[in-house]
Amino acid sequence: MKKITFTLLLVAAGLGTVAGQEDSVMMEKIYSKSFESGQAYENLRYLTKTIGNRIAGSAKAEEAVNWSKSLMESLPFDQVYLQAVDVPYWHRGATEEAYILPTNEPLQVLALGGSIGTGKAGLTAEVIEVELLSELRQHGDAVRGKIVFVNKPWDESLVETGVAYGLNSSQRSRGPAEAAKLGAVAYLFRSLSSSTTDDFPHTGGTRYVAGIDSIPAIAIAAVSAQKLSAALKKDPKTTVFLKNESAWKGLVHTHNVIAEWKGTEKPDEIITIGGHIDSWDVGEGAHDNGTGVMGTLDAIRTLMELGYKPKRTIRLVFYMNEENGVQGAMKYGEAAKAKSEKIVAAIESDAGGFAPRGFDIKSSATAVSWIQQHWKPLFEQKFWVSRFLQGSPGVDSGVWGAHFPNTVMFNFRPDPHRYFDIHHTAKDVFEAVDRRELQSGVAALASLLYLLDQQVDQITK
Amino acid sequence: MKKITFTLLLVAAGLGTVAGQEDSVMMEKIYSKSFESGQAYENLRYLTKTIGNRIAGSAKAEEAVNWSKSLMESLPFDQVYLQAVDVPYWHRGATEEAYILPTNEPLQVLALGGSIGTGKAGLTAEVIEVELLSELRQHGDAVRGKIVFVNKPWDESLVETGVAYGLNSSQRSRGPAEAAKLGAVAYLFRSLSSSTTDDFPHTGGTRYVAGIDSIPAIAIAAVSAQKLSAALKKDPKTTVFLKNESAWKGLVHTHNVIAEWKGTEKPDEIITIGGHIDSWDVGEGAHDNGTGVMGTLDAIRTLMELGYKPKRTIRLVFYMNEENGVQGAMKYGEAAKAKSEKIVAAIESDAGGFAPRGFDIKSSATAVSWIQQHWKPLFEQKFWVSRFLQGSPGVDSGVWGAHFPNTVMFNFRPDPHRYFDIHHTAKDVFEAVDRRELQSGVAALASLLYLLDQQVDQITK
């Protein structure tokens, strides 16, 4: 009985059909080409080593925009253009310091994106430690004049580190306003890090709420957080000195970078693929998100090198400022909506360049089931890509997708084990990327792009 | 219709049953424990950093044996013992050098395990380059007095790097004897490396054939191989100087390390789990195979920490000399056969400590199908472990399994992308291992061990 079931599954999976065999042959070509002559890794080297990190609004971000445009222009796209977008530019400033007093023991910190500065003199205050923001209100007036220190450890138990990140990340964004409302003078937030044993602080976006006084909002590394917590247990009156000079610098005129490869049969049907070109201002923005932009570009380049002619229009988008405002994705969505474009599918890569594991899919359960039956078998055994599950789109697609509720969206999922160890830190550098893992992801992206171009009507009908 | 299919699959998978839910709860505990308090990573640090590499027969290998025994004795095993085994000890010697003449351009080389030396003066000879050993015979007498240089590039197109390794590895083992038979003076073998852009030579075992003169057998790094090939294209009369001082040092008395955790219900049914404790004599033997021994030990320790009581006897085996003779596995098999033991299942870990992907299974197709239906769903979505395919056992299990043809064998499969970049090189060090990836593998191993202990009769009946 088991053998019969297996045979039935193979037939259902389309591997027994001529079309399934053609797809399989095409994917072998894609994988060979990507491993043998893929350029994502060398392009990533340039983006990270020559340009470096590139926070939206900075000169480096604009350098990345212009270099990306020239890279796209070197390929046989039908059209390459910049899409103007204004972003608020936040600058970290020269100094970031934190010490436990009176021992002067240093704490490793990084201001959160959007934080105001402490002023040149810095500030010194007692510390109130909580694990959850909800505990703050119970402390009432005791919060006034203090540094709020949210010290919630990472949930280590989950293989899916993205879920662990999600469990704590709202405290990063909501925290400064909630602390300020109760009269706190600064917000110290334990880094969202899957490593509990290193002392690298992780930055990330936060936000203030209009009408509530802004306070400095600063990430503290895991080991430093444990150190501070121990000092507070010993002496609850322990004070901390904080100094940072970050500030908003106003609006800067910048761009999304877009390239189009026109469809030969249904040019009005658009498949959007891409990721964000900006990064945080520490490390080199390698896994977040150099691999995403250089990977999606190389997926298209691989199909071009194979002489492929797309049926539908494939549009590559490098979004500006995913990290600190999402203005690029908003602009992309507004422009596409104004033209009433028919975006039939979207792929986003913004979860690192580790070994590819699959795609989260924003679509009906019926469509996901169809994909599991027809496409998963093409990827699973030979190429080690096997996750095709209903899930959320990437951040940028999710934002512009508000205008396109029927677009089927794929969120590329590389292996999740290492991502949140280096995410938003000085450790996110070119050397943390493995060439074979990256090019394997390029091949997975190119394969999905090919299958969507050929058969997207099967999951949108 | 698709929804019905999905429900049926869930029911078939046992997730709807009470037993399936119990297994699922147990696996959550295993994963939490492994990530939160796993000790594989810190034990690996000791093995690699304090002991270091440990070729069979060396003092370091015996130090690893004794330390492993004391580590096992610190846990509540019922019995810990050494199993005596004699291994031939091969020593690399102090000097390994290679130059292109007359330019004196250095080539990065490592003698292959088992190679004889060139003598103190070294040797200089012309070079005959081929891609395949089969081409050698066509050259006939031209081989005499020359260095045979086998320069077959790695097949980059495969995600499954183990297959690419297998495509070329027989030329490493058969090459020296075939070259010597035709009168060659040395054998220079392009390293089995998935990286084409680095200059790290990869060692590995080779063998001579009785009755044919032995010649020095040396691995050359990928970039050096390309350099030498270019020099030969420019001038086919180019000569190479080679010097190495390696030699066999006779038999050394050493040990397998074994620990037993006695079954409470069926103590005579044994599940063997483990990997090889020896390594090559370069790097630190981290992924090959420090992660395998420290990982399988920690899988058992995790179950112990959870208060688990096994139904069957779980036997941990650290095999001696997988790399250069497999004597440990032979001894284990002979001893088990002599006692007519009932080894119902075996797990081996010898493919690195990268993110776990699944297990290759040596068993009937029916058993694999049962595992895919009942166990795979427990691993797949939550823990990202999804490969349960019929395949080969590990090297050690394969050797002793000759005496136990009915034992179901599981070969642990971590992600294959990075392994053959560092395999058998100076790059195989502790820093190449990620703690979360390693402990995720420990949890996968512990989960499989638990399922086998509970339900092995389902796949052996």
Question: B335 with B369, same domain?
Answer: yes
E strands, A375-421, where?
A: 387-390, 408-414
Placement of tokens 């004795």 in the chain: B73
Q: What is the mean pLDDT of residues B337-342?
A: 98
CA distances to A31, B231, B281 from B96, rounded to whole Å, are 38, 21, 13
Q: Is B215 in the same domain as B258?
A: no
Query: Do A258 and A341 meet the contact criterion of CB atoms below 8 Å apart?
Result: no
CA distances from A229 to A147, A157, B30, B390 (A): 13, 22, 29, 51
Q: Residue B237 corresponds to which amino acid?
A: K
Looking at residue B19, what is its pLDDT? 77
Contact at CB, A160 and B382, closer than 8 angstroms = yes
Residue A436: which of B369, B387, B417 has the nearest Cβ? Answer: B417
Amino acid A17: pLDDT:
73
Which tokens in the block code for residue A137?
């209100």
Position A327: which residue type?
Answer: Q
**Nearest residue on chain A to B6, judged by CA atoms?**
A369
Mutation for B interface: A159, A291, A435, most B CBs within 10 A: A159
Question: Cβ–Cβ of A2/B440 closer than 8 Å?
Answer: no
The DSSP element (H or E) to which A109 belongs, if any, is strand A109-111
Q: Are residues B31 and B45 in the same domain?
A: yes
Cβ-Cβ contacts under 8 Å between A and B: the total is: 100
Query: Looking at the partner chain, which of A366, A384, A387 has a beta carbon nearest the beta carbon of B2?
Result: A366
A-chain residues near B28 (CB < 8 A): 157
Residues 369-428 of chain B with CB under 8 A from chain A are: 369-370, 373, 380-384, 386-387, 389, 415-418, 421
* Mode of pairing for the β-strands spanning B408-414 and B342-348: parallel
What contacts A285, CB < 8 A, 6 or more positions away? A47, A48, A52, A53, A54, A278, A279, A428
pLDDT of residue B15: 56
Kindly state whether A360 is in contact with chain B, defined as any CB-CB distance less than 8 angstroms: no
The answer to whether A157 contacts B28, with C-beta atoms less than 8 Å apart, is: yes
Structure confidence at residue A196 (pLDDT):
85
CATH code: domain of residue A412: 3.40.630.10
Assess whether A284 and A201 both reside in one domain.
no
pLDDT in the model for residue A7? 40
Instruction: Measure CB to CB from residue A31 to each of B157, B366, B416 and give the nearest one.
Output: B157
Q: What is the mean pLDDT of chain A?
A: 95
Find, in chain B, the residue whose alpha carbon is nearest to that of A373: B2
Q: Which residues of B touch A432 (CB under 8 A)?
A: none
Indicate whether A120 and A161 sit together in one domain.
yes
User: Looking at A217, A245, A273, which one is the last position of a domain?
Assistant: A245
Kindly indicate the confidence band of residue B211, based on its pLDDT and cuts at 50, 70 and 90: confident
Mutation test of the interface with chain B: which of A160, A291, A415, A434, choosing the one with the most B Cβ atoms within 10 A? Answer: A415
C-alpha atoms less than 13 angstroms from C-alpha of A115 in its C-beta half-sphere: 32
Asked whether residue B255 falls in the same domain as residue B371, the answer is yes
Question: Is B194 in Cβ contact with A436 (below 8 Å)?
Answer: yes
Q: How far apart are CA A438 and CA A48, in angstroms?
A: 15
Tell me the C-alpha distance between A293 and A51, whole Å: 14
pLDDT in tens, B146-188: 999 999 999 999 999 999 999 999 999 999 999 999 999 999 9
Is B31 in CB contact (< 8 Å) with chain A? Answer: yes
- Cβ within 8 Å, pair B156-A36: yes
Residue with tokens 């650290």: B318
**Site from B35, B302, B364 to mutate, A interface, most A CB atoms within 10 angstroms:** B35
Quick check: B159 and A382 CB within 8 A?
Answer: yes
Q: Same domain for A163 and A189?
A: yes
A381/B32 Cβ within 8 A: no
Percentage of residues of chain B with pLDDT beyond 70: 97
**Within its chain, how far is the Cα of A293 from the centroid?**
11
Interface test with B, best of A37, A157, A382 (most B CBs within 10 A): A157
Q: Are the beta carbons of B436 and A194 separated by less than 8 Å?
A: yes
From the list B3, B159, B437, the residue facing A417 with the nearest CB is B437
Here the CATH number for the domain that contains residue A176 is: 3.50.30.30
Q: What share of residues in chain B are helix, strand, coil (percent, to 5)?
A: 40, 25, 35
> Mean pLDDT per segment of 10 residues, for chain A of length 461 residues?
40 61 97 97 98 98 98 98 97 95 96 95 97 93 97 95 93 95 97 92 92 93 98 97 96 98 98 98 98 98 98 98 96 98 98 98 97 97 97 97 98 98 98 98 98 96 73
**Distance between CA atoms of B446 and B448, rounded to whole angstroms?**
5
Q: Which of B417, B420, B433 to mutate to test the interface with A (most CBs of A within 10 A)?
A: B417
Residues 6+ positions from B95 with CB-CB distance below 8 Å:
B243, B244, B245
Q: What is the DSSP letter of A120?
A: T
Residue of chain B whose Cα is closest to the Cα of A159: B383
Cross-chain residue pair B36–A157, CB shorter than 8 Å: yes
Rounded-to-integer distance, Cα A53 and Cα A276, Å:
13
Provide, as residue numbers in chain B, all residues whose Cβ is less than 8 Å from the Cβ of A386.
380, 386-387
Q: Which of B245, B266, B287 is the last residue of a domain?
A: B245
Distance from CA of A366 to the nearest CA of B (A): 7
- Report pLDDT for B349: 98
Residues 146-205 of A with CB under 8 A from B: 156-161, 194-195, 197
A209 and A259 share one domain:
no
Q: Which of A3, A32, A157 sits opposite B365 (nearest CB)?
A: A3
Query: With contact defined as beta carbons under 8 Å apart, do A337 and A403 qualify?
Result: yes
> Do A100 and A80 fall into the same domain?
no
Cβ contacts (< 8 Å) between A391 and chain B: which residues? none
Number of domains in chain A: 2
Last residue of a domain, one of B245, B273, B291: B245
List the single best residue of A35, A354, A413 to mutate versus B (max B Cβ within 10 A).
Answer: A35
Residues B338 and B420 grouped into a single domain: yes
Q: Which of A2, A161, A357 sits opposite B366 (nearest CB)?
A: A2
Interface predicted TM-score (ipTM) of this complex, two decimals = 0.94
Cross-strand pairs, B446: none
> Nearest-CA distance from B300 to chain A in Å?
18
Q: Which of residues 428-447 of B touch A (CB under 8 A)?
A: 434-437, 440
Segments forming the whole domain that contains residue B79: 2-88+250-460
Q: Report pLDDT digits (tens) over B59-84.
A: 999 999 999 999 999 999 999 999 99
Put simply, the answer to whether B421 touches A434 (Cβ < 8 Å) is: yes
The helix-helix angle for A365-374 and B2-12 (nearest 10°) equals 70
Comparing alpha-carbon positions, the chain B residue that sits nearest to A365 is B3
Residues in A touching B159 (Cβ below 8 Å):
31, 382-384, 440
Q: Which residues of chain A make contact with B197, given a CB cutoff of 8 A?
A: 435
Contact across the interface for A5 and B370, Cβ inside 8 Å: no
Burial classification of residue A402, based on how many CB atoms lie within 10 Å of its CB (0-12 exposed, 13-18 middle, 19 or more buried) = exposed
Chosen from B32, B41, B415 to mutate, greatest number of chain A CBs within 10 A: B415
Do residues B451 and B369 share a domain? yes
Q: Find out whether A172 and A112 touch, Cβ atoms under 8 Å.
A: yes
Question: Which residue of B lies nearest to A31 if distances are taken between CA atoms?
Answer: B157
Q: Are residues B452 and B341 in the same domain?
A: yes
Contact B357 A434 (CB under 8 A): no
**Which of chain B's residues have a Cβ under 8 Å away from the Cβ of A447?**
none
Tell me if A160 and B31 make a contact (CB, 8 A cut-off). no
